[in-house]
Structures are given as structure tokens and as C-alpha cells.
Amino acid sequence: MAVLVLVVAVVAAIGFVVFARGHGSDPEQKAAAPARPPQGPAGRPPVTLIGDGSTSNTGEQPNRPRPEKLAPGAIPPQFVVFSWDGAGEDDKKLFSRFRQVAKESNARMTLFLSGVYVLPEAGKARYQPPHKPIGASDIGYLDDAHLRMTLEQLGAAWQEGHEIGTHFNGHFCGPTGGGSWSADDWRSEVDQARAFVKNWKTNTGWADLPALPFDYDKELIGGRAPCLEGQKALLAAEPSLGFRYDASSPGGRQVWPDKVNGVWDLPLQQIPLPGRRFEVLSMDYNVMFNQSRTVKGDPARFGEWEDQAYASYMAGFDRAYTGNRAPLLIGNHFEGWNGGIYMKAVERAMRTACARPETRCVSFHDLVDWLDAQDPAVLAKLRTFDVGAKPDWAALGAPPAPAAPAAPGAPGARPAAVVRDRH
């Protein structure tokens, strides 16, 4: 079977801002918490403002599943994580649209917030990116109206059970971008991303918006690096940052994850692209590039490409669901590439997959909570199940056997057609 591997060293910058957000769900949910009065109702802790009042402690996050230990011989749930890089709201209102889709699909998501999306451009001198001019950002800054909209969406999303992770700040790629950064550079980038969220009231001067309903020092436990670059140094920095997972690797297969340097490594995955003889990474940008090579392709093919993108997500889902039950990890952007067909495709996939029995559409936070609740021997056994394997679930409690390498041509053994996201 032929193999096509695409390596893109440089992709021309595109003159618009990309937004991101994440997703997840579970059958067991708690009642939603109230908005945010100065003193909570009886039985709930009072709201405690943090710092300048940009963030707050409102108690336990509502609408989150509680992890349960897998019973011996039980089949694991099929986890699906929908995540979004950038996490901002603009006039397309895709952030709010997918909050509604997630609500209707019983799903939770992960939103990887770019820190500069809550920093006004007038205050960009507060951002000191590693090895770049002060205030530089390859994704620019939101105007004030969109910054306000983004803050409102972030607070509402957290109340609905979605996770607010990080996509770091200026989205620098290529030779002088994140791939060249040291662990200390990544620590600086994360510290600044946290500070922009924790001090948006000081930085904007706005007093008419409520505090975000979470403590970002506690909420932030993972992220995805821009362009999927620099993970080695980032993994070295993450334990000291309090991170529990990293979603920056571009080379994953549909197998159960493991930890690297004490941090869960949760990569984008190779999934089938129906009609093609190679696999693609489980991200809208990669599917798009392998279809049209551009965000403005032939409109006559939009319907065909949308169906192919949806079929790709579902092929990845079905291969895991009927096989080793490895979590399916899907990355997206709040963008209108090729007429918005990838938004339509991921919405179709969310509505279809999350309705399947034994399926939980969860955030990365939910997923790592579940992984950490499991018996390490059971997780080790799960990791021996290769892509496309049909396990004997009754033997799941048995001691793990060494994993055999995938045979040439075996399901999941073909390299993906890799295009590193440039947005």
C-alpha cells in the first residue's frame, strides 16, 4: 500500500486570527452551579475573588464526571476528546455555536486559550515572548469587542463543564518559534499566559464584566503547543508548571496513552482518510491541507470534502470503538476554511459519536482524571492492544504481556500524511 508523507517546512502566514476550544462528556453529571453572587446560596461556598477580581473561586466545577475505576474484565468506555486551538469568539460566533452543539450532544470539550486573546492590543507591551520583540504575536490581538465576547464565552463554558487549557500566547512557529525554545522559555510563556488570564481586568481597565468563575492556577493543567513544535523542551518544563498532560505531539497512533516525564502524552493521532491510501492527523487543518492545500479551495468540491472529513473522524472512532477502545483525540480551530466545511464535519461527528452507547465525550481534564484513577497494571495491559486489535476483555485483569510491533501494512501502521498546523 502506497504511503504519502507530507512535510511542510514553511506555510505562508494567513491574515486572520484562529480560535480554539475543547470538548468532553460523561453520563454522570452534577447540577450546574449558579452564576456568581457575592455570597452563594446555602449549601454552596461563597464566591471568592482572586487578585484584581479577574478570576474567582466558585467551588467545584459543575457538570464534570467523576472518574470510576474500571472493574476487572470490563470493557473501557470509548472516550472522545474534541479540543480547540486558540479559543476565542469573533463575529462568526463559532465558540458559542459549539457550546450549544456540545450541550445537545452531552459532551465536554477542551478549549486551548491563546493568552493574547485576553490581552488588549493597547497593552501588548506586557507580553515578552521568548526571543521575539516585546508585544510580537503571529496571531495578532483581538479587538476590544471580540475580547469581551471571548471573556463571556470562557466563563460560560467553564460553568458548563468544559476545560480551559492553554495554546500559549504568540503562536510562533518555524526556526525561531517554539521548536527552538528551552524549558525556561516555555515556563516564561506559560507564566505569562496565566498572568494574562489572572489580570485581564487590570490590563483592560474594564470593571463591568464579572470575574471568570475559576482559579486559573488550579484550572490550567495542560496545553497544546502551536504548530505542534517544541514538545521535548515543553515536557521538561511541564511538571514544574503543574501540568498533568500535554497534547502537542503530532505523531500518535490510536493506542492507549502513557506518561512521559510524569505527564500524560496525549497526541493527535493517525486516522484513516477514506478514499486515500494514507492516514492523516486527527485535526481539521491536516484534513484540509490534504484535500485542497489551501483554506480557499474549489467550492464545487466542498460537499465532497465535508463528507470525507466527517468519514475520516468516524473511521477513527469506529476503529477504536470496535477495537482496542483507545481514546480518540480530535483537534480543531474555530475557522471557516473551505466555506466552513470542517466545522460542519466536526459537528456531525460530535452529534454521531457522542450518541453511541458506552461513549463518553470528555475534556482532556476528564480523561486524565479517569486514567489516574485506574490500576496501573490495567493501563499497562491496555497499552499492549495495538491499533485495530480485538481484545479479550475478560482477560483485562491479567498481567500485561509485552506489546508486539505492528507488522507492515497492519491497521494503523501506515504513516500519516503530516502537515503541522500553522495556526
d(CA 313, CA 350): 9
Residue for cell digits 468519514?
A: 311
Secondary structure letter of residue 322 according to DSSP: T
d(CA 246, CA 45): 31
Name which of 77, 405, 388, 402 is nearest 255 in CA terms: 388
d(CA 382, CA 70): 12
pLDDT tens digits for the chain (423 residues)?
Answer: 333 333 333 233 333 333 333 333 333 333 333 344 444 445 567 899 999 999 999 999 999 999 999 999 999 999 999 999 999 999 999 999 999 999 999 999 999 999 999 999 999 999 999 999 999 999 999 999 999 999 999 999 999 999 999 999 999 999 999 999 999 999 999 999 999 999 999 999 999 999 999 999 999 999 999 999 999 999 999 999 999 999 999 889 999 999 999 999 999 999 999 999 999 999 999 999 999 999 999 999 999 999 999 999 999 999 999 999 999 999 999 999 999 999 999 999 999 999 999 999 999 999 999 999 999 999 999 999 999 999 999 988 654 444 444 444 444 445 555 555 555
CATH code, 22-59+78-392:
3.20.20.370
Q: C-alpha grid cell for residue 83?
A: 479540543
Residue-range domain boundaries for the chain: 22-59+78-392
Name which of 169, 179, 181, 166 is nearest 243 in CA terms: 166
Q: Residue 416 in 3-state DSSP?
A: strand
d(CA 361, CA 342): 19
Residue for cell digits 476503529?
A: 319
pTM for the full predicted model: 0.86
